[in-house]
Amino acid sequence: MFLVLAVSPSVSHADVINNLLGGTSDKIENTLPEKVITTENTQLSDLKIQKRLSEIFAELETLNKLKIDVNKGVVTLRGNVTSSNIVSKAIRLAKQVEGVVEVENEIVITRSVEKRLESTWNKILKLGNQIITSLPLFILALIVFSLAWFIGGWISNKQGFFRHLTKNPFIANLLGQITHLMFIVIGLVLALSLLDATALIGTIIGAAGILGLAIGFAVRDTVENYIASILLSLRNPFQVNEYVDIDGHSGNVARLTSRATILISADGNHIRIPNSQVFKAVIINYTRFSERRFSFDLGVDAAQNLSDAQQVAIETLNLVEGVLNDPSPLALIQELGEFNVIIRVFGWVDQDRYSFAKVRSEAIKRSKQAFDDMGIVMPEPIYQIRISDDNLASATSAIMNKPQTSTKNKAVKTTTSTNQEFSDVKPDETAKEHIQEETTADNENLLSQQAPNE
């Protein structure tokens, strides 16, 4: 591209190709204003027109073999040429001469292979001479552009400078890329100015705009994820190792990349959510505050004293390791069921010291044991089964003939399980181990402790 610009900035690419191939063109430019035809015309004036055109054509290598006839101000051009551009040029010059009324074109564009080859070869030689003449200017323009590219890249790699402007590493890297791009644009403008092709800048900008629009539609999701990454890194909605729920996906946050958010689920699975979805989703952060409340339901018989049942549930939760005394546990009558009364029990856990799931599980187990010890009935659903007379005898016989199994072993197992009153309710460190593997120095992470939290 730079070669063509250096050789002939004012000549279009289509004209150069057309000259080399010698193609025909039925469209001849006529940009001259219309002349007023005079009422006087003499043979002397025709001779003056013919003489003037002959002098002009004689100075032009491509037109010196054309024949010119003038009669009553009408100029007739005859001869053979190798290009339609030569025909247009001859007609344009003839119309510019004073006194010319009309130009009749009888010029023939030759199809001779020998003349075409000769004409093309001459044009190639001329083009080569122009390239050689403009070569130093082209080399200088290339040096200027390369120097601007190198300086921009060198400055963009100085991340320490951009870290002084912003503490966010992702934004600092983005500023470096923008700086590099600015130097490239400056170098391109300087190079085109040296080649006297500044008019091409508008064309390049227009083409870049169209190309950018097409690419934008093609990679819309990628661009959307990138912009969402910038916004998420500016104001972190979560930090590393926080347990969150993003659009139905739950897990501990491992890292935030320029494309996606990485979670480690409780099952140890690696969850990758596009940042555009994260930015628009409802995010539940379970560990932003260390205190978290759990709840579970207990069903008691309608005939039981509900106040006593509530008191037993609260006292039981006060004895469970990991349940906080402030805020204190709570037991509320939730609803009347079909065959029992539902008591909903609430308790608070310090997630920094204890496992939420383990404490809740232990609280349910202890409440069940306490209700059994206090004789509080937790009824099961009652169903009525109708058996016809024909099947009654067979059902009775099957029950009577069923082997009696010993309950000795079962009693031992039950006793053993009830003796284990305490269980380990410390937090599970498995997710943290996975996150440490994810947050190595080689892995990208846009989450920063210095960034404001939402």
Check if the beta carbon of residue 238 is closer than 8 Å to that of residue 285. yes
Q: Where in the chain is the domain with CATH 1.10.287?
A: 133-218
Topology given in CATH for the domain delimited by 290-378? Alpha-Beta Plaits (3.30.70)
Name, in order, each residue with C-beta under 8 angstroms of 73's C-beta and a sequence gap of 6 or more: 37, 41, 45, 46, 49, 99, 100, 101, 102
**What is the tens place of the pLDDT at every residue in 402-453?**
555 443 343 333 333 344 445 667 776 676 777 777 666 566 777 776 666 6
408, 241 contact by CB (below 8 A): no
Instruction: State the pTM of this model.
Output: 0.53
Tell me if 368 sits within 8 A of 382, measured CB to CB: no
Q: Is the pLDDT of residue 347 over 90?
A: yes
pLDDT digits (tens, 9 = 90+) for 261-289: 999 888 888 899 999 899 989 999 988 88
Which 8-state DSSP code applies to residue 239?
-
Two structure tokens written together for 132: 């050689």
d(CA 368, CA 74): 118
What residues does CATH 3.30.70.100 cover in the chain? 290-378
Residue ranges of the chain that CATH labels 3.30.1340.30: 2-120
238-288+432-454, which class in CATH? mainly beta
Mean pLDDT of 198-220: 72
**CB 300, CB 376: distance < 8 Å:** yes
Order the strands of the 102-109 sheet from edge to edge.
67-71, 74-81, 102-109
Cα gap 163→76, rounded to integer Å: 76
Report whether pLDDT(240) > 70.
yes
Q: Does domain 133-218 have CATH number 3.30.1360?
A: no
What architecture is the 2-120 domain classified under in CATH? 2-Layer Sandwich (3.30)
Residue 290 to residues 242, 243, 249, 294, 352: CA-CA distances in angstroms? Answer: 10, 11, 21, 13, 6
Q: At 161, is the pLDDT very low, low, confident or very high (cuts 50, 70, 90)?
A: confident
Q: Are residues 268 and 434 in contact, defined by beta-carbon separation less than 8 angstroms?
A: yes
Going edge to edge, which strands form the sheet with 249-256?
270-274, 260-264, 249-256, 243-246, 283-285
Q: Which distant-in-sequence residues (6+ apart) come within 8 Å of 164 by Cβ?
A: none
Compute the C-alpha angle 18/24/27, nearest 5°: 100
Under 8 Å between Cβ of 50 and 69: yes
